[in-house]
Structure 1
């Protein structure tokens, strides 16, 4: 008898966030976790910055305008801290529904926010808490950055699971670092594709859906790519002048799921429609895809090109101790140190 490869259903959320409302964001997250689990999914993936929504004001106006309008304060106050009661509610919902979840969030730690993805196992325990390693363009006015330790793939009962946010999925070296860890299931979380359309093609769903498709083919892995919806409520809140209405539109949801050969595994929803997309995963077909191209195996040429990858977590403070002099019981001076 041959190897029995894992087969299961995955879910990708396409919806508008409960914008700038942490409590409502948690409620909506739990509702989608429950819906996905009830439909038989073993993994549910959410868009980038699902909690409490993407800070679209960074693309629509100045930082001074955003501060005066109160967006900066509200966003900080409604970001998620992992040690909070709100985070505990999400953990419990994941455990109760016996499902693996990848949740996009604005993580608050101290006085800094991070574009984060929280990977939770079906027991509600944390698999990873990762941060986007480089915020994109205007996002740098809001968020700090992660480090090489956040380019990680994790062993789970569903296979080797990894995740990246938005344009992290474009950069070749990011991708190669993930491929080198033999990733099988990849969550590519995106915001809404609703700004600067049609004059900024690089920000369009055409390009970024293609990025997810290429990631699947290049890595010979399944790619689940949830994206959010820009709602009429958000439009009314953010667009206080006619020029802003020219920069964004309602919709922008273009969630996709691809197989290891790049084939689409589900039909798309209309861009302004909320819902969950589902697809069936069979890890066995990864071996067939890698027979043609394994980017870190038989299709690699390390004698020609290779990646220098620093996986060490970077800390702003390294605790240390200065040596002190001690005298032993015989009166001899010894050098020792105080542990921190």
Structure 2
């Protein structure tokens, strides 16, 4: 399906319009247009960028964080809703693929989701984070095996994962096995209590994105958010103890080539904009010639992955035949 093996891609590095879905969609459309003006064919947004990552779940006790529950739920995205249609139209109008990190609202539950729009505005894939990380499980539900998928697109084979899914070896291997060429990695701002929690900071998380590129033999477009003063004001409410945990900035968006090198012009950690790079998918063959962990560099006689990629439906609908309508057990189970 590829129309070209060389093109530009962009990783967003920007603060969300925290808890304001309408304003966030307008800002997202502006960034989509900016990427298209720079000739990009794909733009990748950070984790739950609409309506912003719920930093409050890390900053205080659950009782304190409850003040944000209603607003976060009300400002989360719904598939097929007005905001979804606005993003689809922006992708179509600008002829660009979009990987958008959203808090997906489905019934009474929320999910960490990545929605992949084609350049025609059609949805390529709506996927959910397989396992929310740590206290994220107090807000978000889980995805299933159908969310570990690489899709064939006009640009190549594109997959998506969120944040610490990049630390889950088996999930990564399931993605590598599908011959992924372009990987969309979504991350929050890498600033929250990062001095005290090194694993949440940029060194570890950028390292995870870099290793994904090398292991998978693919290009990784890793987008991170920023914390700006407006978001910090909402979260911290002028309390110095909370402000000490909620640092401004935290933008470390990167694009990695299959050999692990960072490509494109990176932004400062407090600077909004796009990290843009030219990628050449023909370079993947050289990386895979050295090491293809789900191909010639594997040892399936020693270790292998069991991968259930089927949707885990919570409700199965069925009907019971009317009395007297079934004359034999063979008719009941199907001949």
TM-score where L is the length of structure 1: 0.94
Question: What CA distance in whole angstroms lies between the structure 2 residues aligned with 1:237 and 1:44?
Answer: 28
Identify if the C-alpha distance between structure 1 residues 313 and 272 changes in structure 2 by more than 3 Å, giving closer, same or farther: same
Question: What CA distance in whole angstroms lies between the structure 2 residues aligned with 1:154 and 1:92?
Answer: 21
Corresponding residue SS for 2:224: coil
Query: How far apart are residue 326 of structure 1 and its match?
Result: 4.4
1:1-340 map, 5 Å: 6-67=5-66, 69=67, 71-240=68-237, 241-326=239-324, 333=327
Could you tell which deviates more after superposition, 103-112 or 243-252? 243-252
Corresponding residue SS for 2:283: helix
> Structure 2, unaligned stretches of length 5 or more?
none
Contact 2:264 2:278 in 1 (8 A): no
Contact 1:79 1:106 in 2 (8 A): yes
Query: How far apart are residue 263 of structure 1 and its match?
Result: 0.9
Could you tell which deviates more after superposition, 260-269 or 200-209? 260-269
> Structure 1, unaligned stretches of length 5 or more?
none
Task: From the CA coordinates, give the structure whose radius of gyration is larger.
Answer: 1
Question: What CA distance in whole angstroms lies between the structure 2 residues aligned with 1:181 and 1:248?
Answer: 38
Query: How far apart are residue 267 of structure 1 and its match?
Result: 2.8
TM-score where L is the length of structure 2: 0.95
Identify if the C-alpha distance between structure 1 residues 27 and 327 changes in structure 2 by more than 3 Å, giving closer, same or farther: closer
Question: What CA distance in whole angstroms lies between the structure 2 residues aligned with 1:232 and 1:270?
Answer: 16
Identify if the C-alpha distance between structure 1 residues 4 and 10 changes in structure 2 by more than 3 Å, giving closer, same or farther: closer
Query: How far apart are residue 5 of structure 1 and its match?
Result: 5.8
Question: What CA distance in whole angstroms lies between the structure 1 residues aligned with 2:165 and 2:86?
Answer: 29
> What is the total number of aligned residue pairs between the two structures?
330
Question: What CA distance in whole angstroms lies between the structure 1 residues aligned with 2:17 and 2:3?
Answer: 41
Coordinate RMSD, CA, aligned: 1.7
Query: How far apart are residue 63 of structure 1 and its match?
Result: 2.0
Query: How far apart are residue 290 of structure 1 and its match?
Result: 0.4
Question: What CA distance in whole angstroms lies between the structure 2 residues aligned with 1:129 and 1:308?
Answer: 23
Contact 2:40 2:96 in 1 (8 A): yes
